[in-house]
Every structure is written in structure tokens, then in C-alpha cells.
A and B are shown apart, each in its own frame.
Chain A
Amino acid sequence: MAASGTKKPRRVMLILEILILIGLLVVPLVTSDFHTIIATRMLLLAMLAISFDLCWGYSGIMTFGQALFFGVAGYVAALLANKAGYVQIWGIVPICMLVGLVSSFLIGWFLLLGKRTPTIIFVALGTLTASYAAERLVAGWQWVGAGNGMSVWDFMKVGSYELEPGPVFYYVILGFLIVAYIASRWMVRSQLGLVLAGMRQNEERLAFFGYRVQRFKALVFSFSGMIAGLSGGLYAFHEGFIGPGSMGIGLSTYAVLYGLFGGVGTLLGPILGVGAIETIAFILSDIDALKPYWPVILGVIMLIVVAYRPTGIMGLIVTDRERIGSFGYRGGGEPDAGGKDAKEDTDGTA
């Protein structure tokens, strides 16, 4: 077909993914352990940011409480280590994912699956309130350390190998990030992703096709909670600490900012967002003269990017067309496939 021949190949995203992957792979090789530990923290936050992107960027769920699932799983991980002496990674990981999944499912069920169609504001306030309430709850609960949070003295273990923060831990987390990324990408590029793309543009229209829009939202919300839970559990072990702040509105807001700054609806944007914001914050907070002002400077930079480009950093790099993508069958071999087979197979979601 003439039209597809004239379309520019859409490969920017793929190239970017490969570049970022290479970049992330070499970090521990070219930096000190100190910086590797900071980078590990960023990877963990990137998972949280991706979970936000799945909600807002892909499903139109404005979640201001994504840290809740992160934090609950973090506390569960800390309790498993401290009270039960259990630190095996192959148990910790699924448990934390399950905790994230169940807690987000319950909140999603309550907020999204009611009789009335919830507004964006209702969901935003609902998630915010849940996050805030959870933060206050643990801050007043002695058994989990109240306002001081909980230290996790034991390292996470793979068999008998102890995972100390450092390069090995970094690669383990990178592995989980890649898996979470690929799973999310697979979902948003599938036929289900097409439903999400349609929902974002016109929810009402989708309902008229017979789609039960709120159920799709609840599904993505639960999935995103699972990823947030995974990162939260690993975070508790990496930092050796979990506190009320890790499930409160502060971190929840950061998840929003990472996403908006990097560019939502891209999955890659949130990773860039975390990298950019955390790096800027790290540099600015190191310059003594700027120390008192860095949150303000950071805020202004973020405002400029978000105001200038609603799609964040990624909006500068990829076109809307590529960002949204296409979802049809693009196998070859059909003689009269009407040109579909000439289409770029950039998504690799076969």
C-alpha cells in the first residue's frame, strides 16, 4: 500500500531502549560502589515510576498513591526479615508482588468498580487519601517501628549468597526492572493495549463497543500495584530500612513527577525521569551555595518541561505516532494483506 511506504520507519523508541539498556549495563563498571548503590536506588524508583505510568499514561487512572503499594510490600519484606528471619529472594519477591497486587486490587476495586463511573479527581483523591492514611497508620504503630520505621539488618539471600548493596545487587535489580519493563511493554503493545489506547482517547466510545472500561482499569491498576510491590520489597532490603515516608504522599508525588517529567505513556519516560530528576537533585544538593534552593530549582525545571511538553522528555524524542504505536496483525506472507505486511515491526510483541 502506498501509505505505509511513505511512513517514516518508527524505530526511535527501539534504539533508545537499546541505548538505555547498554548505559544501565555499564554503570557498575564505570563508577564507584557508592555511585552504583545510588544507581540501584534509581532503578528501584524507576520500577515505581513505571507502575505510575501504566496507570496514568496508559489507562487514565490518576494515582496519587502509588507509594502505598511500594510501602506495604516494603514493610512486609522488613517484617519477614526481622520477625520471621526469612530473607530468601525467591520467597521475598513473589510475596512482595502478591502484597502489591492484593492491596492495589482492593483499592482499585473500591475506587474503580463502584456503581458510578469514577472521575479522575475522585480516583486521585481516593489514592492520595489511602496513601496518606497508610503513612499515618504505620507512623503510629509501635510494632512496625512507628515514626522511626524499621531497619533491616539482614541481607537478602540467594541460596546462601548474601546480596550486599553494590554491583551484584545492582544487576539483580536491573534484571527485575528489565522483566517488569518487558512484561509491561508486552501488555501495552498487545490487543489489550489497544483497548487502553482507545480508552485514553474516548472512554465513552469504548463503552458503546461493549468494553467494560472500569474492569480494564482495575486490571492495570492491580498489575501496576504488583510492580510497585516488587520494587518496594527489594527497596527495603537494599536500603536496609523502610519507614512511613516510603508509603506516603511524598513518594507517591515523586512517582507522578518522574512520570510526567520523563514522559508518560512510554514506559521508557519514567526511567529517564527518575534518572534526570535524581541526578539533578544529587548534583544540586551537593553544591553548598545551592543547597537551600535545590528543591525550588528542581521544581522550576520540572514545571518548564511539563508545561512545554505534556509528554515530557520523551515527547522531545519520539513522535506521538510512535509513542501510541499500532496494534494490528503484521505478519508477512498473506498475498492480499492490503499492505499491512509492509508495516514496520517495531514492537516485537509476536
Chain B
Amino acid sequence: MALLEVRGVSKTFGSLKALGGVDVTVQPNTFHGLIGPNGSGKSTLLKAIAGAHFADGGTISFDGMDVTTMLPADRSRRGLSLKFQITAVLLELSVYDNILLAFQAHQPVWGLLRSLSRRNLHPEVMAALARFQLADRADDLAGELSHGQQQWLEIAMALTQKPKLLLLDEPTGGMSPEERRATGDLLVPIKQHCAMIIVEHDLDFIKDICDRLTVLDNGQVLDDGTVAEIEASTKVQEVYTTRV
């Protein structure tokens, strides 16, 4: 059974049709690339999946349940995690506290008040930081990290939730080629326990790590298939050579 099924999702902003009936299917433990020109609706689609805004039409089912109108917090509890395009790490908190905040999200209030879990979570927090090469920045404010490191922190935070599906909006935005390569290496092992939708402009990056691709253009699915199929697709080449 597919992990995520998006059927005919549409979204309109005023008179602008950002999504006009989009279908996407994601299988468990696969990385699914979402590409397309600027303004083609990639972020809009991810937000609709995560619940940051609701689709005007169509249905989204996740893990066998219709989540089309479910609140973001409830989707998150079911295993859907979104990394925002503009990094939304909490800049005034330490790197450590950002991760702790993500880890303790499902603790009961009374336990939080008594700080029952911070001691036990400490090794996990440090492990999550180490995994993304942030351990030596634990005490710094998240706002003091480089852009690339903030992206990693975001991904690390999203992963603490042990999501079944992680939505990444431009994880390598603003990164050096060096950092990009490192990011790819950091993401690949995740496939063992989590599927992913990755929005990217860097095609080389996405080709390396994704299993399937969906190409959006003007709020419509232009093409969909394995990386090799998309590379061979004339429709896609047309859009990418004439407009990007």
C-alpha cells in the first residue's frame, strides 16, 4: 500500500491557481523528488500535504487515513514531518534546545513541567546533533549557525519525530557544493526507516538520491516516473531547456 496518496489536489490564492489537480503517490522507504520551475507549486503542494494550509479540492491520504482536513499537529502525530523551505529553526534558542524541543514534543504536560525527560533525552539529543555534525555547536544559538547548518538542524529536528514521511523543501538551498554533497550523504541512511519527498532545484543532487521524480509545471503534473524515465522525457526537457 502506498504511504501517501495525493489525488486531484488543488489550491487557489485569490485568482492564482497554484495547484490544479495534482496526483502524487509515494511508496514507503523511497525518496521521491519533486521538481519544477519557480512558482510551479512545489512548496504549495508540500504545505497542503503537511497541513500548513488546506487544499481547496482533492484528497490526501496518508498511511491509510484521509488527512485532507486534519490539523498539522495531528498529522505530525501520525508521522508526517515537514522541513520548511525558509528554515524555521528557533533562532533565539540554543542548537541543543532546538533538538530537545523536537524530541519532547509528545511528552505529557505534567512531565514537561517537572522536567522529567531532559536527562534521559540527553544522549539522544547529542546523538542527533552528532549525526548532523552539530555536536560542537550545541551551546551556540541556532541563529549563529551558517545557513547550511541551520538546514541540517531543521532536518535533524524533523527526524527526531521518527516520521514515516519527511517533507523537505529545498534542503540544500544556500549551501556550498561541499555542504550539498555532505547533505546527500547524511540523508541516504534515513531511507531505512523513513520515506521522503524532496523539493530541489539542484538536479544533480536529486538524481543521486531519489528513486522517483514528479515534475510540476504551473500547478500541474508534467511528468512522473523513475529518474531514468524523467531524464528521457521530452516534455520535461522542453520545460527545463526553454524556461529555466
Contact = CB atoms under 8 A, between A and B. Distances in A.
Interface string A328-349: 1101001011111001000001
Nearest to B129: A338
A331 B126 CA distance: 14
Contacts of B139: 1, 3-4, 7, 326, 339-340, 343
Contacts of A12: none
A160 interface: no
Interface string B123-167: 001100110000111111100000000000000010001000000
A150 B27 CA distance: 70
A75 B149 CA distance: 56
B31 interface: no
A329 B118 contact: yes
B102 A338 contact: no
Interface stretch (B7-15, B109-117, B204-212): B109-117
A20 to B, nearest CB: 25
Contacts of A337: 122, 126
A211 interface: yes
B114 A190 contact: yes
Contacts of A331: 119, 122
A194 interface: yes
A206 B100 CA distance: 12
A210 B93 contact: no
Contacts of B52: 204, 208
A338 B52 CA distance: 35
Chain B, interface SS category: helix
A202 B84 CA distance: 12
Interface residues of B, number: 50
A324 B93 contact: yes
A327 B76 contact: no
Contact of B136 (A3, A192, A209): A3
A343 to B, nearest CB: 7
Contact of A3 (B73, B97, B122, B137): B137
Interface size bracket, A side:
35 or more
A117 to B, nearest CB: 10
Given A191-B100, A209-B102, A324 B92 contact: yes
A209 B101 contact: yes
Interface string A185-207: 00100111011011001101111
Contacts of B193: none
B88 A202 contact: yes
Contacts of A202: 88, 90
Contact of A194 (B91, B100, B106): B100
A340 B135 CA distance: 10
Contacts of A4: 139
A10 B86 CA distance: 31
Contacts of A201: 90-93
B84 to A, nearest CB: 7
B242 interface: no
Interface in B41-79: 50, 52, 71-73, 76-77
Contacts of A209: 76, 101-102, 105, 157, 161
A320 interface: yes
Contacts of A327: 93, 97, 100, 118
A328 B124 CA distance: 12
26 contacts: A2-B136, A3-B140, A4-B139, A191-B111, A192-B113, A197-B92, A197-B97, A201-B92, A202-B88, A204-B52, A204-B88, A207-B72, A208-B73, A208-B81, A210-B77, A210-B161, A212-B73, A324-B93, A327-B93, A327-B118, A328-B97, A329-B122, A337-B126, A338-B126, A340-B96, A349-B115
Interface of A: 1-4, 7, 187, 190-192, 194-195, 197-198, 201-202, 204-213, 215-216, 219, 320-321, 324, 326-329, 331, 334, 336-340, 343, 349
Ranked nearest first, the 5 interchain pairs of A and B with the lowest CB-CB distance are A192-B112, A209-B105, A210-B76, A329-B122, A191-B112
